[in-house]
Amino acid sequence: MIYNNHILLTYNNIYRAVDKCGRMIPVPYNSIVCAAAGGGAREPLFRNPSSSASVYLLQFNCNRRRINTNNRRNNNNNFMDSNNNMRTESYLRHVDSRKLMPNGAGHIPHLKAVILGEALASEEDDLVLPSKEFSDQANVHSPEQYMEMYKRSIEDPDGFWSEIASQFYWKQKWGEKVCDENFDVRDGKIKIEWFKGGITNVCYNCLDRNIEAGLGDKVALYWEGNEPGLDGSLTYSQLLNQVCQVANYLKDIGVKKGDAVIVYLPMINELPITMLACARIGAVHSVVFAGFSAESLAQRITDCKPKAVITCNAVRRGTKPILLKDIVDAAINDSAKDGVSVDVCLVYDNPVALKREDTKWTQGRDIWWQDVIPKYPSTCPVEWVDAEDPLFLLYTSGSTGKPKGVLHTAGGYMVYTATTFKYAFDYKPSDIYWCTADCGWITGHSYVTYGPLLNGATVLVYEGVIYFKTEIYCNLFICMMELEKMNPTDFEIELISLSIGSLVDAKKFKAIISRRQKLSPGLSVIKAPNYPDAGRCWDIVDKYKVSIFYTAPTLVRSLMRDGEAVRYLYALMFTVYLCAIDLRINAFGFWIRYVTRYSRKSLRVLGSVGEPINPSAWRWFYNVVGDSRCPISDTWWQTETGGFMITPLPGAWAQKPGSATFPFFGIQPVIVDEKGVEIDGECSGYLCIKKSWPGAFRTLYGDHERYETTYFKPFAGYYFSGDGCRRDKDGYHWLTGRVDDVINVSGHRIGTAEVESALVSHPQCAEAAVVGVEHEVKGQGIYAFVTLVDSVPYSEDLRKDLILTVRKQIGAFAAPDKIHWAPGLPKTRSGKIMRRILRKIASRQLDELGDTSTLADPNVVKQLIEFSDS
Ligand code: WTA
């Protein structure tokens, strides 16, 4: 398809080029096409005066099929009118292209393909339908089937849930009532009980039951280490044996039903093994994410007074060893000061990260996992528990400094996580499932461990860090290495440096190249901080043939960001190639395509959790990662809810990029105003839930009063989620972020997530975090921290452009008062942005930044302060 040497770089979305006759020319993602003959439509993309050839670009919103549910939408979305003429109004967009194009392209400022129409598209009207093949095989394959099941779950919850619960093993069936609840503080103490009187065991249902059903030899856990090549697997039978050994050990040291055990382990198989071992003997595990500081760990130890702490001597994150045992020692010392002593500390020996002899040791308290666990028998009788006995405690942060111990019980949680997993991911027994969450968070509890194993699924556990931080120089470094191997001429280096000059300092680049060449002419090993590179995720997907991939928007955006830089480079390299410099240079382009150089054919369902996924990240995930083939389950839920609450059922209905869509079975979401009055139809407000569901948390450990005050008193009669939500005209739910993150500017309520989403839709913005600051006139002003796509320089023009984007997308009232350049954002290791710190930086209260030790990269704060006045 090379005509006239005109280049069009497609970017972010799938586009269609259209010729004069309305024939569509598909333009694959991230490709470079050249101008094709055409003409006649209103605004040609390229025009070649010598041949009068032009090409038109039509944004065809993500290669999706559209649903035609009403005439209005039908009219809007058809790009051909009744006379078969192309309707260009809302689809044809301009694309900037290369400055020095070969003849005919005219003046185009620089190599920048605009994300066409992203800012203009009305997300509400974007419907992405699952393919017919997908729907046909899905567990729920149509809106009608969903409606029928949903209706039953609301009208007859007892019947609906007891039918599902009967598929599990119960030593004794539950009593008269399937559900017994008081959901209204005005009627007394809040109480939620499901399947009370039913006797069961969650570990038994995850392992023994599945083995009896013939899954003994099926792989339960694959484990992939941080270091490529380090891996392992456990079948259901092997997993049961190991769980029993740990359970026997715990019993031996005196852990009994109802006792707490703190687990501070990294993502190794021993983490889910320990959780299941606790569940087997009725002990209550409290997993603390192994990224928390000693102080936070001590707080949790003091609160739940565990019989034992289970940890690991050290772990590698990227190339860096983290001495977990030292942190545990400090925490145990701290909690001893508060009168809580820990008698046993079981330590898993991880020689890859730290030698045994280098591990600090307290005789009499500390014991090596490998020295004791293998000695215990690999069978262990089950401790049968009541459905309402506690299964685990998981601490989560609240508005005060004291963490909240969210308590989940056995029966309801088991039934709910298993059911949500099955339907929201359209689970099939042949699936290989990978959730990138750490077991230290609720997602790792419900959707790494319990939900999938209850379904007999094969789960991939990945030890490594998946939140990448890449610098353009890292990419350049990689190119450079390749270049070195190719032994380019000075002229070639000169040319590439010139091309890259618009992105980075060309002099610096040339200097690095010549320095590298001098230092190590034969160097062929490439190591980059995103270990070993940003393609690792997809390498793993291909290696294990992962079919369901569940992750967080922050990961999607950071991978997308790497991709952006790559695309710039790719395009530049390709241009150089087109200029017939050297065919070999094109190899770079291929080499650095982090996503597309992997097959990813095994993927069939994608998932997102943790925060609203902005539409452009959604599209990238859908188009690039999922090849426009895999539905995305954007699952809205919370530590407190135990499982998915609002989520797409992938085969059942059309999705809208950025919307969590509709409620799961049994869930009645309502949107209320400030006074707690339910609002119907299209509206925005506070998201609450009417009536309980089996996976709901039952209390905050040791503080039922706080449970009621935080969740049930704000809007009597409802569970208050703390999130804002908009329901559109079609009934789709759009989460707008925590309401505590709402900014009130001149009386306008603005969700920080909305402003962030608008900012991120700008092609040069990789990530944004918005906070409110005091403003003399408006009450609150909008303060935006913006991370740019790698290599894009900071400039006043760009600042204005970003503000304009928000004005355009939300309205003038939402325009940020300040754009603060942020080379990185302060995130916890789980990827959550710590807005508390951003608020302090924004209001210049630098002496009140508080504890920054739980940040993935505490240096970010220093950088942000340095950029304060730039
Ligand atoms: C946010 C994580 C929008 C929300 C499972 C919620 C989301 C908080 C989504 C709970 C989503 C989670 N879309 N927002 N799909 N998923 N959230 O307890 O603000 O760590 O209240 O549980 O994350 O966070 P938590």
pLDDT top residue among 645 and 124: 645
User: Which residues have C-beta within 8 Å of that of residue 486, sequence separation ≥ 6?
Assistant: 584
Atom of ligand 1 nearest to the CA of 608: 15
Any atom of ligand 1 within 6 Å of the Cβ of 638:
yes
Dump pLDDT digits (tens) for 669-704: 999 998 899 999 998 899 999 999 999 999 999 999
Compute, in angstroms, the gap from residue 644 CA to the centroid of ligand 1. Answer: 10
Give the residue among 59, 181, 35, 46 at the shortest CA–CA distance from 107. Answer: 46
From atom 11 of ligand 1, which residue's Cα is the shortest distance away? 636
Q: What percent of the chain clears pLDDT 70, i.e. is strictly above it? A: 70
Dump pLDDT digits (tens) for 46-78: 333 333 333 333 332 222 222 222 333 333 333
Average pLDDT over residues 817-844: 88
Reported as a pLDDT band with limits 50, 70 and 90, residue 719 is very high
pLDDT at residue 238 above 90? yes
**Residue from 435, 443, 611 whose mutation best tests the ligand 1 pocket (most atoms within 8 A of CB):** 611
pLDDT top residue among 581 and 646: 646
Give the residue among 798, 799, 806, 805 at the shortest CA–CA distance from 745. Answer: 806
Give the residue among 267, 486, 292 at the shortest CA–CA distance from 394. Answer: 292
DSSP 352: T
Per-domain residue ranges of the chain: 1-32, 746-868
Amino acid 798: pLDDT: 95
Any atom of ligand 1 within 6 Å of the Cβ of 611:
yes
Amino acid 531: pLDDT: 53
Amino acid 255: pLDDT: 98
pLDDT at residue 370 above 60? yes
Amino acid 510: pLDDT: 56
Catalytic residues: 740
Amino acid 20: pLDDT: 36
pLDDT at residue 159 above 90? yes
* Range from 212-216, 320-324, 363-367 carrying the lowest mean pLDDT: 320-324
Compute, in angstroms, the gap from residue 379 CA to the centroid of ligand 1. Answer: 38
pLDDT at residue 641 above 90? yes
pLDDT top residue among 849 and 376: 376
HSE toward the beta carbon, residue 719, CA cutoff 13 A: 25
Any atom of ligand 1 within 6 Å of the Cβ of 724:
no
pLDDT top residue among 860 and 548: 548
Average pLDDT over residues 398-403: 55
Average pLDDT over residues 5-16: 32
pLDDT top residue among 35 and 274: 274
Give the residue among 163, 132, 141 at the shortest CA–CA distance from 649. Answer: 141
From atom 4 of ligand 1, which residue's Cα is the shortest distance away? 611
Amino acid 197: pLDDT: 98
Dump pLDDT digits (tens) for 739-764: 766 676 765 656 787 788 889 889 89
Compute, in angstroms, the gap from residue 445 CA to the centroid of ligand 1. Answer: 15
From atom 10 of ligand 1, which residue's Cα is the shortest distance away? 638
Atom of ligand 1 nearest to the CA of 832: 20
Average pLDDT over residues 772-799: 85
Average pLDDT over residues 346-372: 95
Compute, in angstroms, the gap from residue 641 CA to the centroid of ligand 1. Answer: 10
Amino acid 497: pLDDT: 46
Atom of ligand 1 nearest to the CA of 646: 15
* Range from 105-119, 126-140, 621-635, 671-685 carrying the lowest mean pLDDT: 105-119
DSSP 710: I
pLDDT at residue 5 above 60? no
What CATH number should be reported for the domain whose range is 746-868?
A: 3.30.300.30
User: Distance between CA 551 and CA 557 in Å, rounded?
Assistant: 11
Reported as a pLDDT band with limits 50, 70 and 90, residue 593 is low
Compute, in angstroms, the gap from residue 401 CA to the centroid of ligand 1. Answer: 20
Any atom of ligand 1 within 6 Å of the Cβ of 643:
no
Compute, in angstroms, the gap from residue 610 CA to the centroid of ligand 1. Answer: 4
HSE toward the beta carbon, residue 158, CA cutoff 13 A: 10
pLDDT top residue among 172 and 834: 172
**Residue from 646, 721, 723 whose mutation best tests the ligand 1 pocket (most atoms within 8 A of CB):** 723
Is residue 558 within 8 A of residue 825, CB to CB? The reply is no
The helix (H) or strand (E) run that includes residue 805 is: helix 796-809
Amino acid 740: pLDDT: 63
| Residue spans of beta strands (DSSP E) within 414-527 | 432-435, 458-462
* Range from 238-242, 377-381, 741-745, 814-818 carrying the lowest mean pLDDT: 741-745
Average pLDDT over residues 841-849: 87
Average pLDDT over residues 252-277: 97
User: Which residues have C-beta within 8 Å of that of residue 200, sequence separation ≥ 6?
Assistant: 168, 169, 170, 171, 384, 385, 387, 410, 411, 414
Any atom of ligand 1 within 6 Å of the Cβ of 738:
yes
Residue 166: count of CB within 10 angstroms of its CB:
11
Any atom of ligand 1 within 6 Å of the Cβ of 722:
yes
Reported as a pLDDT band with limits 50, 70 and 90, residue 92 is very low
Amino acid 829: pLDDT: 76
Q: What percent of the chain clears pLDDT 90, i.e. is strictly above it? A: 51
Average pLDDT over residues 139-162: 96
Any atom of ligand 1 within 6 Å of the Cβ of 396:
yes
Instruction: Determine the number of helices (DSSP H) and then strands (DSSP E) in the chain.
Output: 26, 37
β-strands 432-435, 458-462 pairing = parallel
Any atom of ligand 1 within 6 Å of the Cβ of 442:
yes
DSSP 185: G
Dump pLDDT digits (tens) for 596-633: 778 899 999 999 998 778 787 888 899 889 988 999 99
- Residue 742 β-bridge partners: 751
pLDDT at residue 452 above 70? yes
Mean pLDDT of the chain, nearest integer: 77
Compute, in angstroms, the gap from residue 798 CA to the centroid of ligand 1. Answer: 31
Any atom of ligand 1 within 6 Å of the Cβ of 598:
no
Compute, in angstroms, the gap from residue 637 CA to the centroid of ligand 1. Answer: 5
Any atom of ligand 1 within 6 Å of the Cβ of 637:
yes
Residue with token string 């710039």: 568
Average pLDDT over residues 21-30: 38
pLDDT top residue among 514 and 321: 321
Amino acid 207: pLDDT: 98
pLDDT top residue among 34 and 146: 146
* Range from 73-77, 135-139, 368-372 carrying the lowest mean pLDDT: 73-77
Is residue 749 within 8 A of residue 739, CB to CB? The reply is no
In angstroms, how far is CA 87 from the centroid of its own chain?
A: 37
Check: pTM over 0.75? Answer yes or no: no
Amino acid 205: pLDDT: 98
User: Distance between CA 117 and CA 119 in Å, rounded?
Assistant: 5
pLDDT top residue among 4 and 560: 560
Any atom of ligand 1 within 6 Å of the Cβ of 830:
no
For the stretch 175-183, contacts whose Cβ atoms lie closer than 8 Å and that sit 24 or more positions apart, written own/partner, are 179/692, 179/694, 181/691, 181/692, 183/690, 183/691, 183/692, 183/712, 183/717, 183/718, 183/719
Any atom of ligand 1 within 6 Å of the Cβ of 636:
yes
Amino acid 701: pLDDT: 97
Atom of ligand 1 nearest to the CA of 722: 21
